[in-house]
Chain A
Amino acid sequence: MSLRLLAGSLFSLIVAALVAVGLTWVAVEHDLAFGAVTIGSWTATPQRGTTEIDPYARAYMSRSGQLPLNVGDGLAYSARVDDSGKPLDGHCDVTVEGLTPQARFWTLTLYDPAGRLVPSVTGRHDFTSAEVVRRGDGSFTVTVAPEARAGNWLPSGGIDRYILMLRLYDTPLGIARQTVREIAMPSIKTLGCS
């Protein structure tokens, strides 16, 4: 009887340890992004830049060594896939096209999946709202590609997977959260792969 009890408790404890470590590992290694705002393939988590940041986001941020972008400073939208759900691939020509939400400045930056900058011969890792070449109506096209392209070329470095981050600095969006769903974000399309 007591042996059964011992075996049972031991079994329970092993299950508990596996569940606890497993769930925690999944939670901190993967960005769970509770309360995320999604527009097309872009995702932002405005409440992380406030004191109302959730415990999972805090654990993830601490573990990865990041500081959240304060919501009064700006709002960061990230994309890992294009508009058809295909993961962003550095071997392909990918266009980011359209208009951005209201903000004083924005930057569009390319990172590897761990959030590092990707080595590039031109030294370019990003475009800012001030330097991007636009059409007459204010819209722009940035082409992410492994080889040089005409216009706004953002080198992909030929890596397998990457993340695009669009940061809007000094934007009214973060605070007026109810309007976030109604704004237009640039489209992301994969054209062709080499």
Chain B
Amino acid sequence: MTRGLLWLIGGIVLGGIAHLGMILLLPRIAQDDAYGRLVPVAPVNTMTTLAAPTAGHEMMPFLDPAIASAVCRYDLSKGPLQLSVKVSQAYTSVSFYTRLGVAYYTVNDRAAGRGAIDLSLMTEQQRADMPEEEDVTAADRLIVESPSATGLILIKALAPEPGLMDMARESVASAQCKPLPPTAPPS
């Protein structure tokens, strides 16, 4: 009887450990996560405007129907990216996610100069490799460091009322995500 109880406790403990392992592993093996759902519609290092969510046609659960969005599925292995978005009249934001969906940075239109959000996205290594003068000339340009080589950039513009949805969609459709032009080597 005691022996049976020991086997039972052993099984529960082992199951608990296996459960923790499964939880930690799940984001890495999930095929149907947000990134996985975007793979078929969003080419790499290109901005793709997402269709407005309507009942029955939603890419992900809990999307805000008052928000127009565009996404850039990025891969920095070939070099840094530059991103620009014209801000809409209401509210515009740019959110960054790692490949596994961790939100690591966001910037909104408060930080926009001249009606646009302009920034460069690079890995820590690429940032370190930047020539110093380049760092100075780029001082007015926001530099975002990605903790992972791949991930997602989500552009959102709010339509405060349904009539302004076209305005919000125009804003996100203006967003660009492309490789940062190679800079001249330091003289």
Task: Name the interface residues of B1-57: CB closer than 8 Å to any CB of A.
Answer: 3-4, 7-8, 10-12, 14-16, 18-20, 22-24, 26-27, 30, 32-34, 36-37, 53-56
Q: Does A116 contact B (CB under 8 A)?
A: yes
Q: Does B158 contact A (CB under 8 A)?
A: yes
Q: How far is the CB of A156 from chain B (nearest CB, A)?
A: 13
Contacts A28-B26, A55-B23, A114-B61 hold; do A23 and B33 have CB atoms under 8 A apart?
A: no
Q: Does B66 contact A (CB under 8 A)?
A: yes
Q: Contacting chain B: which of A83-91, A104-112, A138-146?
A: A104-112
Measured in the bound complex, the distance between the Cα atoms of B8 and A69 in whole Å is 42
Q: Does A176 contact B (CB under 8 A)?
A: no
Chain B at the A interface: SS class: mixed
Measured in the bound complex, the distance between the Cα atoms of B21 and A53 in whole Å is 17
Asked whether B23 lies within 8 Å of A129 as measured between CB atoms, the reply is no
Interface core residue of B90, B101, B103 (most chain A CB under 10 Å)? B103
Asked whether B62 lies within 8 Å of A165 as measured between CB atoms, the reply is yes
Chain A at the B interface: SS class: mixed
Q: How far is the CB of B62 from chain A (nearest CB, A)?
A: 4
Q: How far is the CB of A170 from chain B (nearest CB, A)?
A: 6
Asked whether B15 lies within 8 Å of A20 as measured between CB atoms, the reply is yes
Asked whether B61 lies within 8 Å of A129 as measured between CB atoms, the reply is no
Interface size in chain B (residues, C-beta < 8 A):
63
- Closest B residue to A169 by beta carbon equals B91
Asked whether A67 lies within 8 Å of B97 as measured between CB atoms, the reply is yes
Q: Contacting chain B: which of A11-19, A35-43, A182-190?
A: A11-19
Q: Does A98 contact B (CB under 8 A)?
A: no
Asked whether A13 lies within 8 Å of B11 as measured between CB atoms, the reply is yes
Task: Name the interface residues of A22-37: CB closer than 8 Å to any CB of B.
Answer: 23-24, 27-28
Q: How far is the CB of B73 from chain A (nearest CB, A)?
A: 12
Residues of A within 8 A of B96 (CB): 70
Measured in the bound complex, the distance between the Cα atoms of B12 and A126 in whole Å is 45
Interface size in chain A (residues, C-beta < 8 A):
64
**In the complex, which of the residues B16, B32, B101, B154 contacts A58, with contact meaning CB atoms closer than 8 Å?**
B101
Task: Name the interface residues of A129-151: CB closer than 8 Å to any CB of B.
Answer: 129-131
Q: Does B135 contact A (CB under 8 A)?
A: no
Residues of A within 8 A of B36 (CB): 65
Asked whether A59 lies within 8 Å of B23 as measured between CB atoms, the reply is yes
Q: Does A158 contact B (CB under 8 A)?
A: no
- Closest B residue to A104 by beta carbon equals B91
Asked whether A8 lies within 8 Å of B7 as measured between CB atoms, the reply is yes
Q: Pick the 9 closest A-B CB pairs, nearest first.
A: A19-B15, A115-B61, A15-B11, A130-B160, A20-B18, A16-B14, A12-B11, A16-B15, A72-B106
Which A residues are closer than 8 A to B by beta carbons?
4, 8-9, 11-20, 23-24, 27-28, 48-51, 53, 55-56, 58-59, 61-74, 76, 104-105, 107, 109, 111, 114-120, 123, 125-126, 128-131, 165, 167, 169-170
A72-B95, A109-B64, A131-B162 given; name 15 further pairs at CB < 8 Å.
A8-B3, A13-B14, A15-B8, A15-B15, A23-B15, A24-B22, A24-B26, A53-B103, A59-B24, A64-B61, A65-B36, A65-B59, A69-B103, A71-B106, A74-B93
10 contacts between A and B (CB under 8 A): A11-B7, A19-B15, A58-B101, A65-B37, A66-B61, A69-B103, A73-B93, A73-B108, A107-B67, A126-B65
